[in-house]
Structure 1
Amino acid sequence: MIELSGLTKRYGEKVAVNNLTFTVRPGIVTGFLGPNGAGKSTTMRMMLGLDRPTAGDVRIDGQHYDRLKDPLKYIGALLDAKAMHGGRSAFNHLLCLAQSNGIPKSRVHEVLDTVGLTSVARKKAKGFSLGMGQRLGIAGALLGDPRILMFDEPVNGLDPEGIHWIRNLMKSLAAQGRTVFVSSHLMSEMALTADHLVVIGQGRLLADTSMADFIAQNSRSFVRIRTPQRERLLDVLRGAGFLVVETGSGVLEVDDGKSEHIGELAAQHQIVLHELSPQRASLEEAFMQLTAESVEYHAHAGADAGAPADPPPAGPPQPWGDDWTRSR
């Protein structure tokens, strides 16, 4: 279990993390979301004792990280897939970690097999692709067989098979009763992996709730209906107390309604339906809705996007003349 209480980090006048309090519990995959600059990486670094909080407290299974003996046996983390000595082989990289934490050499072979790197175990890490580096970083996190695991953008560089593998691995670890905490910007993957969400924006806690509740609370759900008997269905639905929205395309949208109830009403009045489908927002849509006011870095695509680049600053005459766009 990871427990944060009033965790705060300031860099001069900049408040990167602002009074965060939440608990990451065992037995589920907890997703950690937030826009760029929200303070996710800083928070995870403070969890591991890599940054010292300005205020507040964070504990790993009831202890501060720097008080843990053989910390890899308590918590395994992947924060940066490039955090390895490129001149060492994959095997020796893991062996160094194992020896520093009292982990037997046999465990190195086990985790290399788990992440699919046995065939390249003796190759130097500097020659690894991004995806192979991610697998090696995950092997390092698993090395101590810890009860707590933290992953920051674990699917970076992985191919579809690798993404499917890490998704199932995290679910399997949680099913074993372990604490799994994962940060990612890939919303479609997070929606398939996480059971619970912690969302921050500008260093502040915005949500700490289940995946289903997060989407329900931050988006609109409705039932979409198409029928050739539109006016008649409108009268029936409004008579039953439903709030019906008419769209310009002839589609009806019913808020806070169940498709089963609507279908039964239509059948009772012998109304033909061409479509009756419940619509639910995606995790990405709900996330965008909640964090709209917390985005620090905004990109703008508009009329200027296709405009030519500004000319170079004035200077001495160039040999190709005044037309600065001319090819040399």
Structure 2
Amino acid sequence: MIELAGLTKRYGLKTAVRELTCVIRPGLVTGFLGPNGAGKSTTMRMILGLDHPTAGEARVEGKPYARLTDPLTVVGALLEARAVHPGRTAYHHLLCLAQSNGVPRRRVGEVLDLVGLGPVARKRPRGFSLGMGQRLGIASALLGDPRILIFDEPVNGLDPEGIHWVRNLIRSLAADGRTVFVSSHLMSEMALTADHLIVIGQGQLLADTSMADFIEENARSTTRVRSPDQEALRDALADAGLTAEPARGPGAEGAWELAGDQTEPVGRLAADRGLVLHELCLHRASLEEAFMRLTSQAVEYQARGRAPEG
């Protein structure tokens, strides 16, 4: 378990993290979201004792990180995958970490095989691709078989197969009862991975809730319905007290849109009125839509104007 209590970090006049209080519990994948500059990396660094808080504290298994004995067996972290000695092989990079933390030598080979780097274990990481470097960083985090995992952008540079592997790995770690805390800007991937979300903006807590509740509270699901007799459908919906508007977006021409999940009442209404339907579907709001709506006022670096086309 990770506990943050009034965690605050100031750099001169700038407050990077402001009175952040939350609990990251075991058995769940907790996603950590926020716009660029929101304070996510600073928060993770304070959890790991790399930055000292101005106020408040971060506790890992009930203690500040600095008071942990054999910390690699308690917390495994991936913050910067390229933070390796350029002259050491992948094997010796991990061996050095293992020997300094009382981790058995055999564990080095185990994690290298687990992340798929066994064949290049004796090569120096300076020649690794971005994805291979990421895999080595994940191996470092897993080396001590820790109860707590902290990952910052774990799928950065990975191909689709690698992304799928990391997703399954993270979920299996949580299913094993471990505490898993993951920061990522890839909303589609986070939606497939996280059970719970902690969202911050400008250093402040914006949300601490389940994935399902976050989307439901911060975005709008709609029902789209289409019939060859568009006007008869509109009149039938109005007679039933269902408010419909012309649907918008790609492929929406000739369709009506209703707020929320109205698929069952609309389906029954069409059957009762003998209306032919060519489309009846629920458009569920995405994590990206919910995130954009919640954080729209907390974006520090916001582009103005339209992006170039093509």
Post-superposition offset of 1:260: 2.0
Q: Distance in 1 between matches of 2:235 and 2:211?
A: 36
Aligned residue among 252, 258, 265 for 2:262:
258
Post-superposition offset of 1:301: 4.1
- 5+ residue gaps, structure 2, are none
Aligned residue among 288, 292, 296 for 1:288:
292
* Residue equivalent to 1:270: 274
Q: Distance in 1 between matches of 2:178 and 2:296?
A: 33
Provide, for residues 109-143 of structure 1, a one-character-per-residue CA deviation record: whole Å limited to 9, x for no partner. Answer: 11001001111111112111111111111000000
Post-superposition offset of 1:215: 1.2
Which amino acid is the alignment partner of residue 254 of structure 2? G
Q: Distance in 1 between matches of 2:276 and 2:45?
A: 58
CA contact (8 A) 2:149 2:179 kept: yes
Provide, for residues 182-232 of structure 1, a one-character-per-residue CA deviation record: whole Å limited to 9, x for no partner. Answer: 101111111111111111110011111111111111111110011123333
SS of equivalent to 2:86: coil
* Residue equivalent to 1:163: 163
Q: Distance in 2 between matches of 1:104 and 1:121?
A: 17
CA contact (8 A) 1:242 1:257 kept: no
List aligned pairs for 1:90-239, cutoff 5 A.
Answer: 90-239=90-239
Q: Distance in 2 between matches of 1:88 and 1:43?
A: 30
Q: Distance in 2 between matches of 1:220 and 1:275?
A: 20
CA contact (8 A) 2:227 2:277 kept: yes
Q: Distance in 2 between matches of 1:60 and 1:299?
A: 37
Q: Distance in 2 between matches of 1:181 and 1:125?
A: 26
CA contact (8 A) 1:77 1:150 kept: yes
Q: Distance in 2 between matches of 1:212 and 1:21?
A: 21
- Provide the alpha-carbon RMSD of the alignment: 1.5
CA contact (8 A) 2:224 2:247 kept: no
Q: Distance in 2 between matches of 1:241 and 1:25?
A: 44
Which amino acid is the alignment partner of residue 75 of structure 2? I
Is residue 38 of structure 1 aligned with residue 42 of structure 2? no
Q: Distance in 2 between matches of 1:242 and 1:53?
A: 53
Worse overlay, 142-151 or 211-220: 211-220
CA contact (8 A) 1:242 1:255 kept: no
* Residue equivalent to 2:283: 279
Which amino acid is the alignment partner of residue 254 of structure 1? L
Q: Distance in 2 between matches of 1:147 and 1:158?
A: 25
Q: Distance in 1 between matches of 2:94 and 2:176?
A: 24
SS of equivalent to 1:154: coil
* Residue equivalent to 1:325: none
TM-score by length of 2: 0.95
Provide, for residues 35-85 of structure 1, a one-character-per-residue CA deviation record: whole Å limited to 9, x for no partner. Answer: 100000000000000000011111111111011000011110000001110
SS of equivalent to 2:244: strand
Q: Distance in 2 between matches of 1:291 and 1:178?
A: 29
Q: Which structure has the bigger radius of gyration?
A: 1
Post-superposition offset of 1:302: 4.6
Worse overlay, 190-199 or 69-78: 190-199
Q: Distance in 1 between matches of 2:237 and 2:210?
A: 32
Worse overlay, 204-213 or 223-232: 223-232
Q: Distance in 2 between matches of 1:289 and 1:42?
A: 24
CA contact (8 A) 1:109 1:118 kept: yes
Worse overlay, 266-275 or 241-250: 241-250
CA contact (8 A) 1:131 1:156 kept: yes
Which amino acid is the alignment partner of residue 87 of structure 1? G
Q: Distance in 2 between matches of 1:278 and 1:257?
A: 6
CA contact (8 A) 1:200 1:206 kept: yes
* Residue equivalent to 2:303: 299
* Residue equivalent to 1:309: none
Percentage of matched positions with identical amino acids? 68
- 5+ residue gaps, structure 1, are 307-328
Distance 1:302 1:178, change over 3 A: closer
Which amino acid is the alignment partner of residue 182 of structure 2? V
Post-superposition offset of 1:247: 4.1
* Residue equivalent to 1:321: none
Q: Distance in 2 between matches of 1:59 and 1:112?
A: 30
